[in-house]
Amino acid sequence: MSNLVPFKSMFHTLGGWPSIWEDDDFQIAPSVNNNLDVYETDNEVVVKANVAGVTDDDIEVTFEKGVLWIQAKSSKEDTDQPKYYSKSSWSYSYKIAVPGMIDHSKEPELTVTKGILKIVFTKSEASKPKKLTIKKQ
């Protein structure tokens, strides 16, 4: 227990534990390899996910209680020549809470283009922006 006293007193004289969040020079750089994009328009919520290397049949998408889960798996083995063997595999799993109020009476639109799965949810009428007018008195 006596070994902790110098350690504790060192941080006490330094002003406590250092905090990286209070450091002006500390910045979190945006990820260049972000595989998931989520954005809203006035009428839609759009989710785009990287599923490169996976066929449409190997992608499973579920939406339950406001949570979207995308799973994609694929593997390929190549044994054309006796001395050559190649195996490659891809696996993706994304789980995200979809923002906004979604119109559950309309089925989301799913498309895959160049390895990007795009899911478009229609917003409910109650969540769409409305222009308000001022009553004249």
pLDDT for 67-92, tens place per residue?
999 999 887 776 666 666 677 777 88
Tokens of 98: 């979809």
Sketch the domain layout of the chain as residue ranges. Answer: 35-124
Q: pLDDT band for position 29 (50/70/90)?
A: very low
Which residues is 73 bridged to in the sheet? 91
Segment 37-43 mean pLDDT: 90
Average pLDDT, the chain: 78
Query: Distance between CA 55 and CA 39 in Å, rounded?
Result: 25
Percent of the chain with pLDDT over 70: 69
**CATH fold of 35-124:** Immunoglobulin-like (2.60.40)
pTM of the model: 0.64
Question: How many Cα atoms occupy the beta-carbon half-sphere of 56 within 13 Å?
Answer: 6
